[in-house]
Amino acid sequence: MTASVPPAVSADNPLRDVSELPFRLPPFADITAEHCREALLAGMAEQRAEVAAIAGSDEPPTFDNTVVALERSGELLGRAWSVFGNLTSSVSTPRLREIEREVAPLEAAHSDAIHLDPALFARIDAVHGARHDAGLDDEAVRLVERYHLDFVLAGAQLDEAGRARLTELNQELSTLSTTFGQNLQLATEAAAVRVAARDELDGLSEEEIAAAAAAAADRGVEGYVIALLLPSGQPVLAKLRNRELRRRVFEASLSRASAGEHDNGPVAVRIARLRAERARLLGFDTHADLVLADSTARTTAEVDAMLASMVPASVANADAEAEVLREAAARDGVELAAWDWAFYSEQVRAERYAVDTAALRPYFELDRVLVDGVFHAAELLYGYRFTPRPDLRGYHPDVRVWEVSDAAGDAVGLYLGDFFAREGKRGGAWMSSFVRQSRLLGTAPVVVNNLNVSRAPAGQPTLLTLDEVNTLFHEFGHALHGLSSTVTYPRFSGTAVPRDFVEFPSQVNEMWALWPEVLAHYARHVETGEPLAADVVRAIDAAQLWGEGFATLEYLAATLLDQAWHRITPDTVIEDPIAFERQALADAGVASELVPPRYRTTYFQHVFAGGYSAGYYSYIWSEVLDADTVEWFKENGGLRRENGDAFRTKLLAVGGSVDPLAAFRAVRGRDADPGPLLRRRGLVPA
């Protein structure tokens, strides 16, 4: 890599310098798409010059002049990417998508130019070889080891021809992943189901009907619109009494991005084949083997063993649930179909356990769940307090900002919440960072949670489903991981842990949603203020296992589909991606006409346009740790500051600076026991 003078950033570009707002919050009101583009291009050039200086140094390689210098490099680029990546996910526009398509291959080339620089790797390799004799502390030693592994897995040990081919592969993959994500967003918006008459929406609440009317108005069409969420299952399927409309919604969901100008089938095939070629180039049999080399699972054999152990019981449980649902549907003269499952499952839940999930929504008003539930649990456990900052603006009017302080009153960082669905926002729910905590850089965390909750009509409260409540607690668990970070090096900050560990803290945080002390604090009727009745709470607890057969099978089907796509070789011929999917599910023993995968190939954003390729197993792998940790909390008195402080300091705060399973053992006192997970999902008798 040769040094060059990076292009200057315009003086009026708000991204040029570190933000002067509290905690370096980006000045969103001043940032345009063109500012992002300029800062990204200049930022890549600036970091290339910085890295060239490191690689070309005449000084002997040391931890400080090589690894720490790399940690400090790319400040402008990191600032620009944190803003741009969030904008393209949350407030996408045609211009932002155009810039995304332009810079994706450039960013891939930029990353390769760094990771495939022989002179730079030689310096890292030298520091790595001397790491135990250089007087480094444990976090510094781990940083050296992480950099070395990052570079090796990125192809640093390839010859010149191999590096050239890898660069070509990475650039095309970057472009294809961007195409997949943009296709899916546009196809999902186009697949929204239009409804002409109000009576077709029978079963939905007044607020949901009003939201469907508002969605139609936003699109400039008459009647009502049911927008689609990312997974196969759509919440309205549990409520709509009109069976034909249930079928339309279900089929619209499952057929997304599978035909026409936004067909993701050929894109997925090409991505999988290129990933397979890249893995082979790097010395691995498959892309899955490459991914597992940097995980807590370590090998595909470990993943296969875990998944295989769960398939028979989950299929049996789903089949048993199906028999119950067939009986319920038969009372209406209906032969059970996949689009009927959620509707009759809710009927059975109400009959068996006296739980009407629709009737719960008035007890789950968004702001109350957030402030009196999510924030309250965080204060009880960790001493965190959240103060609204209406003077600070987000990137969209929906976004709200809170300042976070600890039990001593000291500042921690900022939390942003963006909870409503809208056009231009990708589906699903997620957490990301605008600023990562680092003692080296003197930065405090600025994190954001995104959900896709239907907005209530003006003047009315937004009510959540029980699933949405759990999702809010889950994503806030990721936010806590970022907010609690106390590491020195940004490479380790917050959620910078292996993919199959990152979901663990967030899944632990879900436990507080139904914890009696927390639930009683937020679950109050939006109109009367009455608390959720104790018998209803008991019924919810009793109903926990109902539906686990379906939930586990749809998840395992998606996980095994991900593995199938990423176990192919470069020579595998796939003419029909849907046929490949069908065969993969059958071979894995999870094919079901009634229970589709949680994500089918053409809208499997996690693995084709996200960071979960060959890693969707991570959720259930992490759930082993999560379920066992829940037992630890219960054994030690539950919602106590002592427990929260232990979990925060030993696990959340250390991020990726220690081995993740060692961090788990520091809390639990031993390796994880899979028993609690198996019992939670009904895979073994309680």
For 481-518, the pLDDT digits (tens) are 999 999 999 999 999 999 999 999 999 999 999 999 99
Let me know: does 65 contact 92? Beta carbons within 8 Å: no
Cα separations (Å) of 267 from 89, 182, 263, 271? Answer: 20, 12, 8, 6
Quick one: pLDDT band at residue 598, thresholds 50, 70, 90? very high
Per-residue tokens: 667: 């809390």
pLDDT attached to residue 2: 54
Q: Which amino acid is at 62?
A: T
Per mean pLDDT, which range of 130-139, 140-149, 454-463, 516-525 is the poorest?
A: 454-463
A 10 A CB-CB count for 351 gives 11
pLDDT attached to residue 458: 87
The answer for residues whose C-beta is within 8 angstroms of residue 586's C-beta and 6 or more apart is none
Residues carrying an active site annotation = 475
With b for 16 or more beta-carbon neighbours within 10 A and e for fewer, the 264-275 pattern comes to: bbebbbbbbbbb
Closest to 379 measured CA to CA, from 401, 399, 400, 409: 409
Q: What is the pLDDT of residues 618-661, one digit of tens each?
A: 999 999 999 999 999 999 999 999 999 999 999 999 999 999 99
Distance CA 259, CA 267 (A): 12
Let me know: does 389 contact 402? Beta carbons within 8 Å: yes
pLDDT attached to residue 200: 98
Q: Is the pLDDT of residue 681 over 80?
A: yes
Q: Is the pLDDT of residue 4 over 70?
A: no
Of 280 and 5, the one with more pLDDT: 280
Report the pLDDT averaged over residues 364-371. Answer: 98
Quick one: pLDDT band at residue 6, thresholds 50, 70, 90? low
First-to-last C-alpha distance (Å) of the chain: 60
Closest to 632 measured CA to CA, from 621, 620, 646: 646
Token pair 């769960």: residue: 310
Let me know: does 338 contact 595? Beta carbons within 8 Å: yes
Let me know: does 555 contact 507? Beta carbons within 8 Å: no
Counting other chains too, the contacts that 189-193 makes at CB distance below 8 Å and 24 or more residues apart are 189/227, 189/423, 190/262, 191/228, 191/252, 191/253, 191/255, 191/256, 192/219, 192/225, 192/226, 192/227, 192/228, 192/252, 193/225, 193/226, 193/228, 193/245, 193/248, 193/249, 193/252
Per-residue tokens: 583: 């065969």
The answer for residues whose C-beta is within 8 angstroms of residue 323's C-beta and 6 or more apart is none
Quick one: pLDDT band at residue 8, thresholds 50, 70, 90? confident
Token pair 């084709």: residue: 608
Domain residue ranges of the chain, discontinuous segments joined by +: 191-256, 361-542
Per-residue tokens: 252: 């619209």
Radius of gyration of the chain (CA): 25
pLDDT attached to residue 5: 52
pLDDT attached to residue 75: 97
Quick one: pLDDT band at residue 1, thresholds 50, 70, 90? low
Quick one: pLDDT band at residue 358, thresholds 50, 70, 90? confident
Report the pLDDT averaged over residues 299-314. Answer: 96
Distance CA 373, CA 399 (A): 19
Q: Which amino acid is at 486?
A: T
The answer for residues whose C-beta is within 8 angstroms of residue 152's C-beta and 6 or more apart is none
CA atoms within 13 A on the CB side of 155: 26
Q: Note the residue count of the chain.
A: 686
- Most distant CA pair in the chain: distance in Å? 82
pLDDT attached to residue 457: 87
Phi, psi of 32 (to 5 degrees): -110, 170
Per-residue tokens: 602: 């053409």
pLDDT attached to residue 328: 97
Strand pairing report for 224-226 and 193-195: antiparallel
Report the pLDDT averaged over residues 80-102. Answer: 97
Per-residue tokens: 392: 């600070």
- For all residues of the chain together, what is the average pLDDT? 96
Q: Which fold has domain 361-542?
A: Neurolysin; domain 3 (1.10.1370)
Report the pLDDT averaged over residues 31-54. Answer: 98
What is the percent of the chain where pLDDT is above 90?
Answer: 96
What is the percent of the chain where pLDDT is above 70?
Answer: 99
Quick one: pLDDT band at residue 577, thresholds 50, 70, 90? very high
Token pair 């969605």: residue: 215
H or E segment at 414? strand 411-420
Phi, psi of 204 (to 5 degrees): -80, 155
Closest to 2 measured CA to CA, from 39, 68, 41, 49: 49
Phi, psi of 415 (to 5 degrees): -120, 125
Closest to 344 measured CA to CA, from 366, 369, 325, 319: 325
pTM for the model stands at 0.92
Q: Is the pLDDT of residue 519 over 80?
A: yes
